[in-house]
Structure 1
C-alpha cells in the first residue's frame, strides 16, 4: 500500500487554514544567535546530510555514564563513589577539598580500580595541583584512566579573578600535562569547556566558540611546554552543556564535532573529538525541585542522542546544595533507563537524515565558527575576556532568554506553568561558598544565572 507524499505547498495550505488570521511568517523563529528556525524543512530546501557520530562505544556501552561526587571528607566521598560505581556508573567526576592533596584523594579513591573506572577532576584554577594529586594516587599505573580536566580559563571567566597571571596558569597546566603524559598514556589532560558561557545565559554559538577558543589557547600553552599539537589535541576533552531544549542541545553536541574537525584541519590533523556533556544548571528550579527530574531527563536524552562520549547529570536538588545519595541515585538511574531500557545508544547518530536537525547542526557550527573567528581577531580568548568583549555579547543573549520567559514565549514547568502551590521539599547537602582567588589577572565575570530565579523571587515576595 502506498501513501501520498504531501508537498510543501500542501503543508502551506493546511498551515494557513490552521493559523486563521495569523500570517505564516509567525511560525518563523529567530534565536539568540540570529539564526532562523523555520516551521518546516524538506529535501526541497537543500539540506545537506550531516554525519557526526561518536567514534566508538564506551567499553561496550553507548556512552560513559559519569557521576558527579562532591565532598570534602575522603571517607564520605569514597563511600559515595563506590556506591555510584556499584550502581551502574562507569566513571566519576570529583569536586571538593578531597582534591587538595594526594593523601585525602588516595583515601577517597580507595577500592576504585583506576584501570577500569575513569576518574575526572573539577578543580578550577587548582587543576594542576589536583592533577598532581591524582597522578600520585594512581601509583604510576600506565593503564590508569585519569581525566585531569585542567581548565583554568573557565574558572577565570566565572570568578573574574585569578591568583596569578592567566598566562602563568596556562603554562602551569601545560607543564603539568607534559610531566604526566608519558607516565599515563591513557590519561586526558585538558578540558576545553564552554559551560561557563551557557550558565551565564549565553547562546549556543557563543558556547561552542568559547570551546574552540579554549582549545586554541591550550594548544598554544602546550607548545610552550614542549607538547606537540597532536599530543595536546588528543589530550583535550570538550565540555558542553545540555538542557531541556533537547533538539537544540543534541544539535549543539553534533555541531561541536564539526567545529572540532575544523580546528584539527587547521593543525593538519584528523582526530576524533572527546565530548563530555553536563546537564545545565541554569535550567534548574529551587522552589519546586521535582520538575527538575523532567528537565534532567530531557538533557540526558539530548546528550545521548547527540552523541556525547561521557554524560554527567546533576542531582535534581543541586540548586540547594550538593546532591545527597537519593539525588545522585536519581541522576544515575535516569541515565541507566535511557541507556538500557530506552536503548538510545543502539543507533549511531540517529539525528542524521533529519532535515531540521541536520540544518540546525550546520547552522550552529557555522555561527560558532564565525564567533570563534571574532574572538581570535580580538586577540584570543584571554584578551577578549580581559577587554570585556565577550561579556556584553553573552549579556545580550541572556536578555533574549529572559524576555522570552517573561513574555510567555517560553515556559518552564513548575515555574511559569503548572506551578504547584504547595511544593514538596527535597533534601540536599550544604555546599561551601566558593573562595575567590585574586591578586593576578582580572576580568568582568560571566556570572552563573538561573532562569527560574526571578519568578521564584516574585513568588516568595507574595
Structure 2
C-alpha cells in the first residue's frame, strides 16, 4: 500500500507559528529589504507568483559555467606565470588588470602560451579601457577565433572615481568606436560590461544595482549603434555584470532577475536574445580583522552565482579586505569553484530555482524593482545625466543607511564580526599592490565610493564594547 504524507495548509502553519511566537504577532516574521520589498515567512500557491524559468544560455566548454579568475600583478612575466597556473589549475578564463594592460608588448608577454581561442581573456581597465582593448587586439594577433572580452565600462569607472579625464560622453563614444573597430576582426569577442557592481559596492540595493546595469546596457547599445555597429552586434557584444554575496537566496534571484530584465531590453530593441552574465563576489561583505570566515561567504556567493545561472563566476580572494590576494588566496578562490562544480555537482540541474514559490516570487520582485529603478534613471535623462545630478547617489545612500541600521540594531549579522567573533585571529598575508590614479579634469559627479559593512565593527572601540 502506498502511504502519502499529509499536506499542511497555510492555516495550519499559521496556528503553529503563532504558538511558537507566543506574544509576538505573525506580522513580525515579515522582513522589508533595502528596496522596501516584503519578504514573507511562507510562500505557497495563494501568495506566490507563477512559475518562471531563467536558465543560463551558454555551456562553458561542457562545464555548467565559466570559472573565471582575476590576475592583478604588474610584471608581465609574473602575470604570465599566474595566468598559466590558474588555467592549468582548473580556471577556464582570466580577467587582467594593472599596468600590464598599458601596451601590447608587455601584454603579449603576459599572455605568452595562452591559447585565446580556448581560454577567454577579459580586461578590467576602467577609463583606460579603449587603450587596453587595442593592446589586447594586437596581442591576439588577429586570430578571428580569439575569445576576447574587452569589458569596456567607462560609466562604472566614472561613477566610482567621481570624475573622468575628459567628458564621460567622450569616454563612452571612444569605447563604442573601439568596439566597432574590432568587431569585424574578432567576431567571437564581447565588448561592453554593463554592470551594477559599483552601486552594490557603494551599499546600494538589489533593485538599484539591476537598474543601473540595465541603464548602462542601454547607454552602451545606443553609443555602439551611433559608432556604426548593428543593434544585434551591440547587444550580442554586451556582458551583464551582477554581484553575488553571502545572502545566497537573494543573490541567485538577482542573477535570474537580470535575465528577465535583459529579455525585456533586447525585445524592445527588436532582437531578443539570451543574456550573458558575469557574477562577481561582493567586496562589501568581507571582513578584514578576521579574514578566514570570508571563505564561507565566498563559497555562498559562488553557490549563488552557479545556481542562479551565471555564465561566468569570479570569486575574490578571501584576504581582499586586507589587500591584494596572494597566490594562496587566489588558489582558494579557484578551488572553491572547483569543489562546487566537480564535487558538489552544482550546475548539473538547469535553473534549479525554478518552481520554488519563494525563489520565483523573489526573482520577479527583484526584476520589477530593477525595472522600476531603470525607468527612474531613464526618466532623469539616462545614467550619465542621473549620475551628474546625484539622484542615483542619493538613492544609494538611503539604501546603504538602511543596511547599516540593520547591522547596528542586530537585525542582520556578519559571522565573525558581529556574531561568533574569534578572539584569536590567525594572520593571512597579502601582496603589495600598485596604486592607480584616475585623472578627473573632465566631468565630475559625486563618487559612489565602496563601503565595507564590517569595518564599523572592527575598530578597537567596538571590539572592546563586545
Question: In the alignment, is residue 314 of structure 1 matched against residue 316 of structure 2?
Answer: yes
Please list every run of at least 4 consecutive aligned residues from structure 1 whose deviation after the TM superposition is greater than 4 angstroms.
Answer: 458-462
CA separation in 2, counterparts of 1:46 and 1:417? 33
CA separation in 2, counterparts of 1:436 and 1:128? 15
CA separation in 2, counterparts of 1:372 and 1:116? 35
Aligned-pair CA distance for 1:208: 0.2
- 8 Å contact kept, 1:160–1:445: yes
Matching residue of 1:414: 416
| Partner residue of 2:293 out of 277, 281, 291 | 291
- 8 Å contact kept, 1:305–1:345: yes
| Partner residue of 2:271 out of 269, 273, 283 | 269
Aligned-pair CA distance for 1:218: 0.4
Matching residue of 1:401: 403
Please state whether the residue corresponding to 1:365 is helix, strand or coil.
helix
Aligned-pair CA distance for 1:461: 7.3
Matching residue of 1:346: 348
Matching residue of 2:432: 430
Please state whether the residue corresponding to 1:344 is helix, strand or coil.
coil
Aligned-pair CA distance for 1:314: 0.2
Question: In the alignment, is residue 370 of structure 1 matched against residue 372 of structure 2?
Answer: yes
Matching residue of 1:278: 280
Question: Number of matched residues?
Answer: 462
Cα separation, partners in 2 of 1:46 and 1:418, compared to 1, 3 Å? closer
Unmatched 5+ stretches in structure 1: none
Q: Deviations over 1:396-423 (max 9, x none)?
A: 0000110111100011111001111120
Q: Deviations over 1:262-302 (max 9, x none)?
A: 10111111111000000000001000000000000000000
Please state whether the residue corresponding to 2:94 is helix, strand or coil.
strand
CA separation in 1, counterparts of 2:353 and 2:461? 39
- 8 Å contact kept, 2:48–2:361: no
Please state whether the residue corresponding to 1:81 is helix, strand or coil.
helix
CA separation in 2, counterparts of 1:270 and 1:342? 33
| Partner residue of 2:302 out of 300, 317, 342 | 300
- 8 Å contact kept, 1:65–1:90: yes
Aligned-pair CA distance for 1:56: 2.7
CA separation in 2, counterparts of 1:445 and 1:262? 30
Matching residue of 1:182: 184
Alignment of 1:23-422 (within 5 A): 23-422=25-424
CA separation in 1, counterparts of 2:460 and 2:230? 53
TM-score by length of 1: 0.99
Please state whether the residue corresponding to 2:150 is helix, strand or coil.
strand
Q: Deviations over 1:285-322 (max 9, x none)?
A: 00000000000000000000000000000000111221
Matching residue of 2:10: 8
Q: Deviations over 1:125-161 (max 9, x none)?
A: 0000000000000000001010000000000000100
Please state whether the residue corresponding to 2:358 is helix, strand or coil.
helix
CA separation in 2, counterparts of 1:433 and 1:182? 35
- 8 Å contact kept, 1:320–1:430: no
Question: In the alignment, is residue 455 of structure 1 matched against residue 457 of structure 2?
Answer: yes
Deviates more, 1:223-232 or 1:382-391: 223-232
Q: Deviations over 1:205-250 (max 9, x none)?
A: 0000000000111011111101111111100000010000000000
CA separation in 1, counterparts of 2:232 and 2:223? 13
CA separation in 2, counterparts of 1:46 and 1:401? 26
Cα RMSD of the aligned pairs, angstroms, is 0.9
Q: Deviations over 1:417-446 (max 9, x none)?
A: 111112001011012233131110100000
Please state whether the residue corresponding to 1:435 is helix, strand or coil.
coil
CA separation in 2, counterparts of 1:324 and 1:400? 34
CA separation in 1, counterparts of 2:45 and 2:242? 30
Q: Deviations over 1:352-400 (max 9, x none)?
A: 0000000000011011111111100000000000011110100000001
TM-score by length of 2: 0.98
CA separation in 2, counterparts of 1:251 and 1:234? 23
Please state whether the residue corresponding to 2:243 is helix, strand or coil.
strand
Please state whether the residue corresponding to 2:207 is helix, strand or coil.
helix
- 8 Å contact kept, 1:160–1:443: yes
CA separation in 2, counterparts of 1:7 and 1:97? 61
Please state whether the residue corresponding to 2:430 is helix, strand or coil.
coil
Cα separation, partners in 2 of 1:175 and 1:79, compared to 1, 3 Å? same
